[in-house]
Amino acid sequence: MQYATRLNSLRSRPELYFPPGRITTLDLLRRATQIQGLNSLSMNYPEHFADTTLAEVRQFLGDAGLTLDSLNIRFPAEDFGDGGFTHPDARVRQAAIDLTCRAVDACVELGGQDIIVWPGYDGFDYPFQDEYARMFDDTVAAFARIAAHNPAVRIGIEYKPREPRKHSLLANMGETLLAVSAVDADNLGVVLDYCHTLMANEHPPKVAGLALGRGKLFGVHLNDGYGQQDDGMMVGTASLVTTVELLVTLLRHGYAGSIYFDTFPVREDPVRECEWNIRISERLLGMAREVVATTPPSTTHDPFTVTRVIEQLLIPERVHV
């Protein structure tokens, strides 16, 4: 399994690794090389290229034996705070499209093939603020143009129900798959963020299965939380059994993508935190493989299926068959 991490998480606890002063992108990349088991990185565009060049980053990744998992688009609030693809001004919508297409070109130059678009400012805050069908149609038109810019690069839409807007336009898996279906491009799909699904009151394995069944799950952001906000906690620390079921779902559908740790260490040492995420994911994947090998998918609607799986994984000496 390819494991990638959120580069900005490595800004946490700077006193552990950095001398006082400004922390550059190359500093963060150097810190990432200290993480045991990490083999890929996800970077933000254009944020992480303000103080370095594409050539410098590509050289560093090659020297460090790391690959680029993806480029995440980060739309600057000063330009797109009222919306990017949904903005009422066509010039702003065009600027958002242009920024994303530049990221596609940058991704190719860095040797990658995945762009993740989180349209965080696309939504609304108040009733009567805008016309919902207009915003959806403009979003579909934008993604159609972006997907056509380079069909060899996959575009994954990362949905989130809210934050920073009170209501996101693409707030759940169903709405996002609706947009993907409307565009109907082979290289446009969905990125599932575990915490975002919890915020949307979704069951992560269920919605993963919906996207996988249509060949449209382009990425998985693994973390954990309690569902009220984007907690970004360490993997498996709040909803272990559901995390295992998600991994089982990925295996049964032959998911061939990477796992990206979109976590937010604050008090934690971010290097140790990422190493935990890798270590626990490896162990949980081992458990998931065991479930796939020994427990066929339930077709009986038997509620005791989960008890057998829990006992098998956590307390095998007490399994009741």
- For CA atoms 42, 46, 178, 128, the dihedral sign is positive
Amino acid at 97: I
What pLDDT is recorded for position 266?
95
What is the structure's pLDDT at 298?
86
- Residue 45, classed as helix, strand or coil, is strand
Give 209's contacts (C-beta < 8 A, 6+ positions apart): 249, 253
From residue 234, alpha-carbon distances to 31, 40, 55 in Å are 19, 18, 32
pLDDT value of residue 318: 62
* pLDDT (0 to 100) of residue 1: 85
Tokens in use for 169? 């336009």
pLDDT for residue 210: 98
Q: What is the dihedral of CA 200, 209, 132, 115, to 10 degrees?
A: 100
Position 183 scores a pLDDT of 98
Residue 138 burial by Cβ neighbours in a 10 Å radius (0-12, 13-18, 19+): buried
* DSSP, res 84: S
Beta strands in 86-232 (DSSP E): 114-117, 123-124, 154-158, 167-168, 188-193, 217-222
User: Residue 296's pLDDT is what?
Assistant: 86
The count of other CB atoms within 10 Å of the CB of residue 276 is: 19
Q: Domain residue spans in the chain?
A: 3-296
pLDDT at 319: 55
Which of the residues in the chain have pLDDT under 70?
318-321
The CATH number assigned to the domain with range 3-296 reads 3.20.20.150
The model's pTM: 0.96
**Residue owning tokens 């530049």:** 102
**What is the Cα–Cα distance from 35 to 254, expressed in whole angstroms?**
27
pLDDT at 74: 96
Q: Are 88 and 42 in contact (CB under 8 A)?
A: no
| pLDDT given for residue 313 in this prediction | 78
pLDDT for 308: 85
